[in-house]
């Protein structure tokens, strides 16, 4: 499995990263495909056309449920990338918000026998909540508490950008959001179960 961090509309950077990745592995995204970068429409089209799996991120949630705040946090860049194609934006937004909140892969285990769990933000603090309740969806997309992983899982997520130029790796978790939309940003992919990182410096014209 290959897990790719928050892309945030940086299509050129994503394509450069894809070129570096093994071609015989499944790809899953941790959410936040859109906003801040210049080409959200192209990123979403690429993921949809290739039928890649993706969990729902807080930016997708914000675009649908709080558009006023969304426009202040990178939404204008997404809006611009769609131009006059409002119908496509509405269709893509519905698709983005129909993505699951988490993906479990019990057949994929690390060297300690922990199963792969992919979420947008760290799952440890909310995994025991009622998954049909109101609090769980918010926490699994928006949580910025110190990362922890549910017992028995290796949790790979994004959401909180790491500004030191590398992913944050814990014993049983990995935050692979490396701030691609910053001037010195990097897009990161993780190979699992090897936990090998493959990175690409931002090459999009980011003006956020």
**pLDDT, tens digit, for every residue of 69-98?**
999 999 999 999 999 999 999 999 999 999
Q: What is the pLDDT of residue 140?
A: 97
**What are the tens digits of pLDDT across the range 160-206?**
999 777 999 999 999 999 999 998 899 999 999 999 999 999 999 88
Per-residue CA distances from 126 to 62, 131, 150 (Å): 20, 9, 9
Pairs from 84-89 (Cβ < 8 Å, separation ≥ 24)? 85/41, 88/41, 89/41
Domain layout of the chain by residue ranges: 2-201
**pLDDT higher than 70, residue 208:** no
- The two structure tokens encoding residue 117: 């769990």
Question: Who contacts 89 (Cβ-Cβ below 8 Å, separation ≥6)?
Answer: 41, 78, 79, 82
22 CB-contact burial (10 Å; exposed 0-12 / middle 13-18 / buried 19+)? exposed
Q: What is the pLDDT of residue 206?
A: 84
Q: What is the pLDDT of residue 128?
A: 95
Cα within 13 Å of Cα(137), Cβ side = 12
Q: What is the mean pLDDT of residues 26-47?
A: 98
Q: Please give the CATH topology (third level) of the domain spanning 2-201.
A: Purple Acid Phosphatase; chain A, domain 2 (3.60.21)
Distance of CA 114 to the CA centre of its chain: 21
Q: What is the mean pLDDT of residues 104-120?
A: 98
> For the chain, what is the mean pLDDT?
96
pTM across the whole model? 0.97
């Amino acid at each position: 499995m290959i897990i790719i961090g928050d892309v945030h509309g940086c299509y050129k950077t994503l394509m450069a990263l894809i070129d570096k990745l093994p071609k015989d592995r499944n790809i899953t995204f941790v959410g936040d495909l859109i906003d801040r970068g210049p080409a959200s429409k192209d990123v979403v089209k690429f993921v949809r056309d290739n039928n890649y799996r993706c969990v729902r991120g807080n930016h997708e949630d914000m675009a649908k449920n709080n558009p006023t705040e969304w426009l202040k946090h990178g939404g204008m860049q997404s809006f611009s990338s769609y131009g006059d194609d409002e119908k496509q934006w509405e269709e893509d937004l519905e698709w983005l918000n129909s993505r699951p909140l988490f993906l479990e892969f019990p057949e994929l285990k690390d060297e300690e026998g922990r199963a792969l769990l992919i979420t947008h933000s760290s799952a440890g603090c909310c995994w025991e909540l009622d998954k049909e309740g109101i609090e769980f969806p918010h926490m699994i997309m928006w949580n910025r508490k110190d990362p922890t992983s549910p017992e028995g899982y290796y949790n790979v997520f994004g959401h909180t950008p790491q500004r030191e130029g590398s992913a944050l790796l814990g014993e049983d978790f990995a935050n692979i959001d490396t701030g691609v939309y910053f001037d010195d940003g990097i897009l990161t992919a993780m190979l699992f179960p090897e936990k090998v990182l493959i990175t690409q410096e931002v090459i999009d014209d980011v003006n956020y």
